[in-house]
Structure 1
Amino acid sequence: MQLLMVEDDLRIAAPLRAVLGRHGMDVRHACTGEEALDALTADVDVVLLDLNLPDHDGFEVCARIRRISDVPVIMVTARADVRSRVHGLNLGADDYVTKPYDIAELLARIHAVSRRGRSDARPDRPQAPAAAPDPAVTAAAPQPAAPAPGPGPLAVGTVVVDGAARRVTVHGTEVVLTRKEFDLLALLAQRPGVVFRREQIMSEVWRTSWAGSGRTLEVHVASLRAKLGNPRIVETVRGVGYRIVPDA
């Protein structure tokens, strides 16, 4: 895996690079936002982005990355407040890890967003040339599953989810969602009023059963409520999970 680490503190960057290297990752290191943008090539699989950089705020760097690439981005920072988390996800970050973190947690999140990045790759992401596939191998290889929002647009009150076009409208106006926000909404919209367990959501949307990802789900739900302009449309069922409320 090719990983771009954007971290200006060498006391953190050097040991982290060594640990990631021991886990089979080829780490490219950038100390500033401009270096990160210059180092972002088509072969980068994941970006670890610190927010406190000497030349640009990490949020700005994330926004600039999203204008040129769909590579998975994990923000790594000491900013633990929910507002910063939601802002980062709204800018297009795929995950958000707060310092200090456990290295096992960070590794798990890197592998998780890498898997999601491969399955959710968009046409506008720069792609390296690939060899022609072997038809026999392709036919035999199992294909990864993806959450399917249904055969046609799903209407939940004034919210319409078009799975084929990956578009969401509210009162006829399009709302821009991140990949995971769309997948989460599409899953809940399949069965309005039905409670989806947290474990089921993490399995179907994030492709993981890892309990440590629960905070990621909460932040995505908060962001989704804000973007849809209705905090009651996604209801929390305490101790169980979430459901979408058609008449909210």
Structure 2
Amino acid sequence: MKIDINCDVGEGVENEYLMMPYISSCNIACAGHFGDVNSIDKTIQLAIKNKVKIGAHPSFPDKENFGRKLIKISDDDFTKSIQSQIDLFLERLKFFDEKLHHVKPHGALYNAIAVDEKLAILFIKTIKKYLNDVFLYVPYSSVIEEVALKNDIKIKYEAFADRNYNDDLTLVSRTQKNALLIDENEVLNHVLFMVKKDKVKTISGLEKPIIANTFCIHSDTKNALEIVKYLNKNLKKEGFKIG
């Protein structure tokens, strides 16, 4: 059985060259919360070198808060920003003669469209023209999942290897001390529980149904490299192929 490990990259951490050999897909910041042509090009080249599937990682246009805060923005400005981010990314992919594999929203945008139907509908309307033969990474049992499927968009369910979950399958807020999982073995067990049982253990101890086709490791976690190396090695020991 294959397990896809994805990572948010091109975000200024500068550890992509270390992370890429241990992951199978990546989400590259495209100038919304971070990035420019240089960072996009550099990260695309690393992905090509390591045969990692390439995804766009659009966000609210908010570099000040790294795209991790919900901001007020008009529908028109939102549409223009998201489309300009993806247009830029596709332009750079074309330069390297590569194709887009997936789109994964970033940060506050990702969390918002998981629960906000109005914003989810606007987001799908904004990006639908880009999604021919392109996957959208979405959380299981979310609003954005429902809206995407209604629009015949191909999805992959994403779960977070290094984040704790609330009982409603939302992620524990980063403002809370228990939001992140940083112990390598805890991350491995978290993933194996989801893979083997199709359930996730929440912070209150409940076991909630979940489906995951891809697991995210955040590259800006302080020991992200150690986590992804440990996960890659031990998932293979468990008989899984990373891909």
TM-score by length of 2: 0.27
Name the larger-Rg structure: 1
Give the number of the structure with larger relative contact order, counting CA–CA contacts within 8 Å between residues 6 or more apart. Answer: 2
